[in-house]
Structure 1
Amino acid sequence: MGETTSPEQQTGADKAQKAPRAAFGQMEVVAVVLLVVVFGGQFVAPYLDSPQFSTWSTIFLAIVIQSTPFLVLGVALSAIISIVLSERVLQKVVPRNNVLAVPVAGVAGVGLPGCECAAVPIAGSLIRRGIAPAVALTFLLAAPAVNPAVIVSTAVAFPGEYDIVAARFIASLLTAVLVGWWCLSRGSRLPLRRLEQVAESDASTRQKFVATIRHDFVHASGFLVLGAILAAAVNTFVPRSIIDTVAGQAVLGVLTMALFAFVVALCSESDAFVAASFTAFSDTAKLVFMVVGPAMDVKLASMEAGTFGGAFARQFVPIVIGTAVASASVVGWWLL
């Protein structure tokens, strides 16, 4: 007598049969890379022996090797604190007066660290749970910029230069609080999209910890490599005369580093190492780079537009960038 198939098994089998295979998957990517290496190697090989490429590779490896061990430590620290101290803690400590709650939310970023990408959904979760948008957005700006992992990474990247470490903390916190008060002043005129309630995750603490580390490390290391590639390229291939001309002008140097921070979109736990490699630029310009990046970059702008709405992003993004540049410039002039 033949075995009968239950409706659930039949449905699963049908789905397995109907599931389409990706037209361009991992195997195809590997095959293309191998073909490029085999057939393109003869054209690339002459450039690999050039002094410029040797200089580029040395700078690139120096940035990556110096920052990777600390990046691992910073990601682990962030995961531990974010699991132990959830956003519910912020709900309990913020004052009822929103004017006071804004700076409290900024300081809370010290105890609730996370990468920029993680801060966006956390801010959305806080708004869904009744926290005032201005308070949640202040936390969004502060958490990736003033947490212990970022502070220590900055101290490692700038050994002995504690004034830069202090300046980064003050300028980042000032940016978050000023933008938070601006959002508070807008009130109902802030075009924030209505956020729907989402189900709570039932994952265990261990699963959340592993998932947080995996996400943060993969995300941060990828952008670290990208930033190291670009930083090494700027220091190697851009004529020194151009760098000296731009870096030698205070305003132009600051604006250049702000634009670079927005476009490159580095992780806040690793951007200090890239900033330190721009030796031609002033300390204030480097500070602008480290303050603007965690506050607003291209990936954050797109995430915030998707989460809070395009109308909100069109107002929020320029305000954050302008405030970050101004705060870093003033603090840099004061302390550096």
Structure 2
Amino acid sequence: MTDTLERKRTRSVEVEALAVILVLLVIFRESISGFIDGAALQTWITVFVSVLVQAVPFLVFGVLLSAVIAVFVPRSFWARALPRHPALAVPAASVAGVVLPGCECGAVPIAGSLIRRGVTPAAALAFLLAAPAINPIVLTATAVAFPGNPEMVLARGLASLVVAVLMGWLWLRLGKTEWIRLPHRHDEGASKGRAFWSACRHDVVHAGGFLVVGAAAAATINVVVPEAWLQTLAADPVLSVLALAVLAVLLSICSEADAFVAASLSQFSLTSRLVFLVVGPMVDLKLISMQAGVFGRGFAVRFAPATFVVAVLAAVGAGAVLL
């Protein structure tokens, strides 16, 4: 018992120290950059901090909403809100994700709370994919980024919704309960206020820690991959699709900002850029890291590759029909 308490205290101190370091990096990033001579290292720090600055507000929003769901929403609500048949609950949960103005950083802990509240994992995972991809903020940003191609908004929304529903149904068919290992919480029997803050701290530790790992990986990829490669890949239709799909995974850009990055890649076709927009909010480095932290590594190594394949195929299909 004493060892367990000691480990908890040590972990708490480590997390708080990490939080302080990250805050200091954000506040003093310009001063720190001035002491660094290497352009590559400066780029790494810029990308790392940018990913965190973009993602943290939505992570906080998701953690707070997750805690509200876990503590204040009764289990009976989900039984009434979603169809009882799992196959029908999947598209219903996907459509519910449309109205949530958040990104993948917030959707991960929310999906975890939904599963804890008794929602079938297939429906929660469909919500996880739909919420950051086709909410009103993301679609509006896409319309602003592509003012001359309004069909991009329809193509992105439709393809992303199809991916969310198909992945939910695929989980119903092939998924196994033991693949999802949600971390245990220790707030049973506590008051609602104490349980709320306990849930917030729990999700920040698990999701936030893996967000930092994903941001560091994305920054490293940004520095290592030469930009000249993009020019060569854009000339080949098949390679351009695969290149932007992989780039979306590596860059780990928040869904509210990825449309502007896609619009800047003007050397690529609209279909290739659509693939970038569909894959990014569903499969990227920080999202995979966060999924591993919230649902377990066994889940992430199965779910992420399957989502990647389905997202690429759906985006190419939507591009062929609508673009």
CA distance in 1, matches of 2:79, 2:242: 37
Partner of 1:164: helix, strand, or coil?
helix
SS of the equivalent of 1:95 reads coil
Deviations 1:114-169 (A, max 9, x none): 22111111111010110001110110011001100001000111114210000000
Q: Which residue of 2 aligns with 1:330?
A: 317
The aligned residue for residue 161 of structure 1 is: 149
Aligned partners of 1:199 and 1:147: how far apart in 2? 32
TM-score, normalising length from structure 1? 0.66
Asked whether the equivalents of residues 98 and 136 of structure 2 are also in contact (C-alpha less than 8 Å), the reply is yes
For 2:274, the aligned partner's letter is L
8 A contact 2:278–2:311 mirrored in 1:
yes
Q: Structure 1 190/159 Cα, relative in aligned 2: closer, same or farther at 3 Å?
A: farther
* Correspondent of 1:37 among 10, 27, 34: 34
CA distance in structure 2 between the aligned counterparts of 1:181 and 1:28, rounded to whole angstroms = 44
- Any conservation in 1 of the 2:69–2:114 contact (CA below 8 Å)? no
SS in 2 for 1:106: helix
Does the Cα contact within 8 Å between 1:127 and 1:136 map onto a contact in 2?
yes
**For residue 246 of structure 1, what is the aligned residue in structure 2?**
233
CA distance in 2, matches of 1:255, 1:133: 29
Of the three residues 285, 298, 303, the one matched with 1:298 is 285
For 1:107 and 1:131, the matched residues in 2 are separated by 15
The structure 1 residue matched to 2:254, chosen from 239, 253, 267, is 267
Matched, 1:147 2:110: no
State the 1:326 CA deviation. Answer: 0.7
Q: In 1, distance between residues paired with 2:268 and 2:322?
A: 16
Q: Report the Cα distance in structure 2 between the residues aligned to 1:33 and 1:112, rounded to whole angstroms.
A: 34
Cα 1:169–1:90 change in 2 (3 A) is farther
Q: 1:296, CA displacement in angstroms? A: 0.9
1:282 aligns to 2:269 (yes or no):
yes
Q: 1:202 aligns with which of 190, 193, 213?
A: 193
Using a 3 Å threshold, how does the CA distance of structure 1 residues 92 and 35 change in structure 2: closer, same or farther?
A: closer
- Give matches, 1:83-162, under 5 Å: 88=73, 92-162=80-150
2:171 paired residue among 168, 183, 193? 183
Contact 2:182–2:294 (CA<8 Å) still a contact in 1? no
The percent of aligned pairs where both chains have the same amino acid is 44
Task: Please report how far the alpha carbon of residue 196 of structure 1 lies from its aligned counterpart in structure 2 after TM superposition.
Answer: 3.3
- Give the conservation status (yes or no) of the 8 Å contact 1:120–1:304: yes
Q: Report deviation, 1:113.
A: 2.9
Match of 1:307 among 286, 290, 294: 294
1:230 CA drift (Å):
5.4
Equivalent residue, structure 2, for 1:11: none
Runs of 4+ in structure 1 off by over 4 angstroms are 19-23, 25-36, 85-91, 197-201
Whole-angstrom CA distance in 2 between matches of 1:144 and 1:31? 30
Using the size of structure 2 for normalisation, the TM-score is 0.69
Shift in CA distance, 96/156, structure 1 to aligned 2, threshold 3 Å: same
Give me the whole-angstrom Cα distance separating, in 2, the residues matched to 1:159 and 1:35.
Answer: 38
Q: CA separation of 1:33/1:199 partners in 2, compared to 1, >3 Å: closer, same or farther?
A: same
Change (3 A) 1:179 1:34: closer
8 Å contact from structure 2 (residues 78, 119) kept in 1: no
AA paired with 1:164?
Answer: M
- Change beyond 3 A, Cα 1:162–1:199: farther
Write the letter of the residue equivalent to 2:154.
Answer: A
Where do 5+ consecutive residues of structure 1 fail to align? 1-14, 45-55, 206-214
User: Structure 2: which 5+ residue stretches go unaligned?
Assistant: 1-8, 197-206
CA distance in 2 between partners of 1:147 and 1:22 (Å): 34
Whether the aligned pair in 2 keeps the contact of 1:102 and 1:134 (CA below 8 Å) is yes
Corresponding residue pairs, total: 274
Mapped contact 2:94–2:127 kept (Cα < 8 A): yes
Q: CA RMSD in A?
A: 4.7
Give a deviation string over 1:204-225, Cα, whole Å, max 9, x none: x9xxxxxxxxx99xx9xxx7xx
CA deviation vs aligned residue, 1:282-335 (integer Å, no higher than 9, x gap): 001101111111001111111111221111111111101111111101111111
> Per the alignment, in what secondary structure is the counterpart of residue 196 of structure 1?
coil
CA distance in 1, matches of 2:304, 2:315: 17
